[in-house]
Structure 1
Amino acid sequence: MGLHPSLLRALLLHGYQTPTPIQRLAIPSLISSPPRDLVGMARTGSGKTLAYIVPLIQRLGGRHSSTFGARAVILVPTRELALQIVKVGKDLSRGWNKEGVSHAGDARDKRETSSYNLRWSLIVGGDNLNDQFNTIANNPDVIVATPGRLLHLVVEMNLDLRSAHYVVFDEADRLFEMGFAAALHEILLRLPSSRQTVLLSATLPETLVEFARAGLQEPKFVRLDSESKISPDLRLAFFSVKETEKGGCLLSLLRDVIKVPFADKSVKKKTSSKTLASHQTIVFTATKHHVEYLHNLLGTAGYAVSFIYGSLDQAARRLQMDAFRQALPWPRAEDLNRAGDRGWSIYRCSYSRNL
């Protein structure tokens, strides 16, 4: 694909051996010269994030630029997706070597410090505004943001986005579904016309088509998995149960079907993180009240539960999501003082009326 040796090595070290179909089609097009816009359609979990992160790092040269102004902007619908993108970007861009691949034992230049790494800025709702002002003032190379908060900062700081020459709209259909259309159009007007634009989505609604026509210039269109948004690796089942029986149905699924291990003092042998990760379960619910109800229900039943909802404090959201990703313990409040001697598995709770 013509990737820089440092970038290729980083991909291999992180376990990326074979590119997915969307990556095979998108990456060569995005790193080609002259730059070309791209519209990609593929279901969730198809590898769309790497499909634009890899070309972004290569186009920015893998190094921080002293010239003021962000060189890339990535717009996403949710805070958790933004956190994930920043983590992936930092991992892949860390240790970039312009002259070639460095190895253990090689002599290192004193200038080869973290200050030369790409700077990533996370701009999302819920975080402290003053901290975000400082982040922008620190001259980031890449801004990963939710549209509403980014527009707020752009207006408050009179921020010039004309330095951005690589722009990504990730999960674009969700951006419009969540009511960010006005903010997106406003941000679009503040971006340079000479930018390279990437628009990625699982579907292509009519409003998104109109937006793409306004923001992209003769883009390459990549469409995969158009017949289904669902991965063939997923097994689907539907249960019609009475309202009063839903809690019991959920507990039965966890115990008898998924076989999620309990996490209480009656368990003599602690469960390993690997075993916990293989039983991770996500439950979606409608409101934070249902989240809290299921959190108490599953905790009383002996499961370790992590929860998250929109109005939860941002610091708490990060702790909950980090615990879930790493299959680490997240105790109930009353168990914080004795969490050290318990084995935990993590669940994210949300709601469905037709569980």
Structure 2
Amino acid sequence: MGLDTAVTKPHERLAALLTEEMAAVDRLIRERMTSEYAPRIDEVAAHLVGAGGKRLRPMLTIAAARMCGYDGPYHIYLAGTVEFIHTATLLHDDVVDESGQRRGRPTANLLWDNKSSVLVGDYLFARSFQLMVAPGNMRVLDILSNAAAVIAEGEVLQLTAAQDLGTTEEIYLKVVRGKTAALFAAATEVGGVIAGMPEEQVKALHTYGDALGVGFQIVDDLLDVAGDAASTGKNIGDDFRERKLTLPIIKTIAKADDTERTFWARTIEKGDQRDGDLEHALELMAKHGAIEATRQEALAWTARAKEALSLLPEHEIRDMLSDLADYVVARIS
């Protein structure tokens, strides 16, 4: 499946179908991210929100609600909630990771300072809770507040697992489910809840979002070691240089002999990286079949996402969500 054909860009087709509602979400976001008393909040939030992005997570909420026949106003509030949670975590992530660039622009912590990024992130989290209570639905509140807690849990778990060669695939999956998949799953699930769908279909929406999020992150890991820098916009091996234990590396370490494990201990645990180390790391991944094994795992997760959709009503949006799962893995298929 080529990336240049329209069918491979279901997020653009979704955006076109949901233009009016996504415009309403955008208006709500810009209205609620402002502060009467602290102009720094407006500056920092506008910098990140104005950087663009696909707005995929709130779009999933709108799509799920529309697919399930919802015709009320509250999916707009829930989509805004999802985007505020996501934006808040980005602000916090950039401070934790000491990042200097996001979406091709300097990060807020670089342009202002860490304190501003953390506090504005806190403000956006608070705003997200104001929005999520608007529907007056306790189930929705439970889902989204739990997602916010799971995201934070995933971040802390990643801190303890980083550069630890004892990190297993099970731990990796917990981190990914926290950092990435939790918000995807909550975004789709609340769309079904607000529409009053049967429990089986609400669970199917959760499964779809969870599996899509996990597959999304695994593909990112894979592209770092087997992608095309020109099309991904990332340098090959950035994760290795930053000493991140991604899935291909974890799979390779699991099969390492003593000599290879010494190499990984030096480069990942101690951070002593030298010329030629990246090339050697890639050779070890190929030797142990880690790249192909990771590719198969990504395909399995997106297949799980598509399978969950079979329990949902027939709808053009359901077809687009299925195409979205295909699109996630198109670059590695």
The TM-score, its normalising length taken from structure 1, stands at 0.24
Larger RCO (CA under 8 A, 6+ residues apart): 2
Q: Which has the higher helix share?
A: 2
Q: Which has the higher strand share?
A: 1
The TM-score, its normalising length taken from structure 2, stands at 0.25
